[in-house]
Amino acid sequence: MRRSLLVGAALVTALSPCLARAGEFDGLGEYHPDPKAIAYVGFEVDPDRYVPPDADGACLPPMFTAVVADDAIDGKGYVHLVTLPNCAERFQVTLPPIKASYRASVWMRHGALDASLFATYPGGSGLDNVQALLAPTGRTTSDGWIELATNDFSVDGALADHVYARVGTTAAVAGVDFDALEIVPSGAYLPQRDCAGLSDPACGAEEICLDNRCVAGGNTVPPLPPDGLRNEVVDVLEAKLRLFYGGRRSRDLYLPHALDAMEQMRKATTAFQFWNWWATGVHRLHDWHTDTYGGPHAIRGSTHRLNACFFEGDADLSHAAWPKDAKYADILVSHAGPGAAGLKAGDRLVAVDGVHPLEWATRLASIDWGYHVATDPDNFADYAEALGGPYWSGGAFIQRYATNLTVIRCDEKGTCGAPETIAVTDLPDGGGGPDVACDNRPFYHLDPANGPDPAKHYIFGSFFRGPIVEAKPDEKILGLVWDTLYGGGDPKSEVNQSITAALDDFRANAHGVILDHRAGNGGTIDTVTSLTSLVRPPGTALVTRIPIEIAGVGGPATTAEGLAEFTQFQSSTGVAVGSPDWVPSLPVALILHRDGSASDYFPFAMKGAPHVRLFGPHPTAGAFSTYIQFAGGGLGFQLGSGDSIAPGGETMIGHGAVPDVILLPTQSDLLAGKDTLFEAALAWVRSEAAP
């Protein structure tokens, strides 16, 4: 006889105290759908599939098998799902032609599902499609079925053209059983509304103004745990942070603030309050490797365009019009494309919603679930990079959350005008031409025929190298422009082969080298070993301490303890650098800006080499760790975990690699078509290069 059970806490195992349950089990374990259900699919006959017009051809054939069995949740059948990568199955239902609020539920077993309930509207309706997460409620059966449910979601049934459950299986499982899709009336209808930035009272407490539309936060999170389970869920989540998060400095600086936020979860009265406090706690860990997945920011894309990239600089020509902030660097336009509100390189962003752009961005820790920040408290590059640019890049903060922005425009002669405030609603929704990627490089210094496209600034996984165009051919100054260090530990990987080819070229042909790594996305340590082989003899730059080794304590508390661990583990977990065939006479300049993870290890290992100099505006991200991931029920997060120890015994997490030459790009240089950091690097290489 089947029994209905409640399970304890997991990442998203929760049961709402006011959950409009889809159905009940009787004393014999038989399931009875809710008599109030307005839509129900029992899967005893072929369900109504929905295939979008733009679906990939590989996703067209049915990705399920009908199974006749006595252990179905209801009746004599269920479906067994095995979806292909990047595909999903959609089971369609019909809602009444009225405006109403509903709650959906399904049952699954034997695997994991990425599942949501969708309602789509035709073009021209003026309505956004509805997406409500299906997540575990905490209710399960003795034979392995697990209930998933949404929170309340609102649909205009007269206008919706398709209503369906979208389900996909993970690549790690052979398939998932799926049964009893049910929708019941629940809650009050909430109409879709426009808004103008985060401060607009048009949106309620359970909504976020995202891209000028009130987005229901409850659609994006699991149900609220009841009083009996809530503390247990919080205890489990806090325990993960206490055990796995960070190294010595990051735990001391940030962990208490994160736990304070998570304690607020115990007082939450709605699902969105509960899970948003969880996300806020994770963001307060202030770590480059630490992120949350899912949530409101993933629901709606930006319709307004601000095709401009911003970075930290020195607005030396416009301080009279708008003084420099005491804490934060000025924010300048690095480069721009069509649809940038007329902004161009050298213009200045002075305020967003009336405050300094970086200060405004720090306030999004409780709003944007894709929030990203450096571990080193003196590094704000991630904030600056996320202000503009395209939505798909993970940025577009201004388009998505702001009411207005204030800028100062300057001409090529260096004359700057008065501050001008632009409403986000007045930004264009197009503009033609490609989106520009924000890589902190205002200009490239390689032959355009072989270098990055200056109209796009797309680098990502590519490597570009060649002679520096500002140098004379006989100077033999070569450059490398790249972002990613993911070699995967494979010497034959494309990344490692690109690095090897570049270093061979430099050894054979260069009198000086400029490495431009201003958007260092990190990667794997093997690339650090490869790159340093050019400039230093064999050695150990750091010793890594992986999460399990330092779980719950964060690593050595003193440099004496650190030195002892460095000595003990140097031969086992040391970061090997250098090579016997290094070139001591070759001057190498490394330009940095927004760099973390392996892109922290790399400059740290380069610094101090006999003929190397680092140029940048501030320390790197200080992400001297790895990370651990947790996921389930539509939400996920990863925690920066572990630490690294320098040869002197210092723990490194939260301490970015500090450039030898600290410079901010200047407004006057940008308007003159110059790249401040590059100009300084080139001058040094020329002064050091052999004739």
Q: Which amino acid is at 292?
A: T
Confidence band for 19, pLDDT divided at 50, 70 and 90: very low
pLDDT, position 204: 92
Confidence band for 18, pLDDT divided at 50, 70 and 90: very low
What would the pLDDT profile of 573-628 be if each residue is shown by its tens digit? 999 999 999 999 999 999 999 999 999 999 999 999 999 999 999 999 999 999 99
What would the pLDDT profile of 616-673 be if each residue is shown by its tens digit? 999 999 999 999 998 776 788 999 999 999 999 999 999 999 999 999 999 999 999 9
Mean pLDDT on 20-30: 76
DSSP 98: S
Residue entry with tokens 């431009």 = 516
Mean pLDDT on 491-515: 96
Is residue 194 a contact partner of residue 229, using CB atoms and an 8 Å limit?
no
DSSP 114: E
What would the pLDDT profile of 140-153 be if each residue is shown by its tens digit? 898 899 999 999 99
Torsion of CA 332, 337, 341, 346, to 10 degrees: 20
Confidence band for 11, pLDDT divided at 50, 70 and 90: very low
Predicted structure pTM score: 0.92
Determine whether 311 is exposed, middle or buried from the number of CB atoms within 10 Å of its CB (0-12, 13-18, 19+). buried
Is 445-538+581-613+657-663+678-691 assigned to CATH 3.90.226? yes
Determine whether 239 is exposed, middle or buried from the number of CB atoms within 10 Å of its CB (0-12, 13-18, 19+). exposed
Select from 638, 586, 596 the least CA-distant residue to 619. 596
Has residue 13 got a pLDDT over 60?
Answer: no
Tokens of 487: 């070699």
Please state, for a pLDDT cut of 70, what percent of the chain lies above it. 95
- Better-scored residue on pLDDT, 45 or 269: 269
Has residue 119 got a pLDDT over 70?
Answer: yes
- Better-scored residue on pLDDT, 226 or 6: 226
Has residue 464 got a pLDDT over 80?
Answer: yes
Has residue 30 got a pLDDT over 90?
Answer: no
Q: Which amino acid is at 520?
A: G
- Please give the Cα distance from 500 to 549 (Å, whole number): 33
Tokens of 354: 């009336």
Confidence band for 5, pLDDT divided at 50, 70 and 90: low
Is residue 534 a contact partner of residue 586, using CB atoms and an 8 Å limit?
yes
pLDDT, position 392: 73
pLDDT, position 356: 98
Is residue 78 a contact partner of residue 69, using CB atoms and an 8 Å limit?
yes
- Please give the Cα distance from 141 to 392 (Å, whole number): 40
- Please give the Cα distance from 297 to 395 (Å, whole number): 11
Has residue 7 got a pLDDT over 60?
Answer: no
CATH of domain 308-426: 2.30.42
Question: Among 36-40, 77-81, 170-174, 441-445, which is the least confidently predicted range?
Answer: 170-174
pLDDT, position 171: 64
pLDDT, position 172: 62
Confidence band for 15, pLDDT divided at 50, 70 and 90: very low
Distance, first Cα to last Cα, the chain: 88
pLDDT, position 300: 62
Question: Among 359-363, 371-375, 552-556, which is the least confidently predicted range?
Answer: 552-556
Domain ranges of the chain: 4-192, 226-270+539-577+622-655, 308-426, 445-538+581-613+657-663+678-691
Please state, for a pLDDT cut of 90, what percent of the chain lies above it. 80
DSSP element (H, E) containing 230 = helix 227-244
Total Cβ atoms within 10 A of residue 48: 12
- Please give the Cα distance from 536 to 280 (Å, whole number): 43
- Please give the Cα distance from 550 to 624 (Å, whole number): 14
What would the pLDDT profile of 388-430 be if each residue is shown by its tens digit? 988 777 789 999 999 999 999 999 999 999 999 999 999 988 7
- Please give the Cα distance from 291 to 295 (Å, whole number): 12
pLDDT, position 298: 64
pLDDT, position 227: 84
* Helix, strand, or coil (residue 141): strand
Has residue 2 got a pLDDT over 80?
Answer: no
pLDDT, position 680: 98
- Please give the Cα distance from 309 to 389 (Å, whole number): 5
The listed CATH number (2.60.120.260, 3.40.50.970, 2.40.50.100, 3.40.50.10090) that belongs to domain 4-192: 2.60.120.260
Q: Which amino acid is at 289?
A: H
HEC-encoded secondary structure of 603-633: HHHHCCCCCEEEEECCCCCCCCCEEEEEEEC
Question: Considering just the CA atoms, what is the radius of gyration of the chain in Å?
Answer: 27
- Please give the Cα distance from 3 to 149 (Å, whole number): 19
What would the pLDDT profile of 260-283 be if each residue is shown by its tens digit? 999 999 999 999 999 999 999 999
DSSP 587: -
Q: What angle do CA 61, 63, 69 make, to 5 degrees?
A: 130
pLDDT, position 170: 73
Has residue 6 got a pLDDT over 60?
Answer: no
Has residue 93 got a pLDDT over 80?
Answer: yes
CA distances from 29 to 3, 74, 668 (A): 6, 10, 76
